[in-house]
Amino acid sequence: MKKLNLPLYVILIVIAGFCTTTCGKSSDGGGGGGGGVIVLLGDLIGFWQHDTDSFTFDGQDNKLGGSGTVGGQTGTVSNSKIDKYQFSFDLVFADNSVKSYTGTIDDTKKVIKLTTGSTTTTFNKQ
């Protein structure tokens, strides 16, 4: 068996130490690939409010459905998608205009943050 020289041992130890302390860890303290609280359909169902804006979510056909009132206009939730750490949907208004939203839920399951364009708004479960 051939002996490795000392500088090579040092390099291997440094690499191994680096990987055990940082590789595969995300900023939320979980395993790699993470990024927040897992979103479940059941956690979103209900009435969410921020000032006069609100959303009432339900679980139609095992998808996020419902309605929302934003800026005095009421629309219907459609094209919903739930990924592991976020969800998205379109709010379609009577004049066929559409606002697209992406959202996250906090660990208490009582607060969601919805982003449309460059605006993020916090909604509380009522």
Q: Give per-10-residue mean pLDDT for the chain (126 aa).
A: 62 58 44 72 98 96 95 97 97 98 97 98 98
Structural domains of the chain, ranges and CATH numbers in brackets: 1-35 (no CATH), 41-125 (2.40.128)
Helix residue ranges, H only, the chain: 6-22, 41-44
Tens digit of pLDDT for each residue in 39-53?
999 999 999 999 999
The pTM of the full predicted model, rounded to 2 decimals, is 0.72
E strands within 1-126?
46-50, 53-60, 63-70, 73-82, 87-93, 98-105, 111-116, 119-125
Residue 68 burial class via C-beta count within 10 angstroms: exposed 0-12, middle 13-18, buried 19 and up: buried
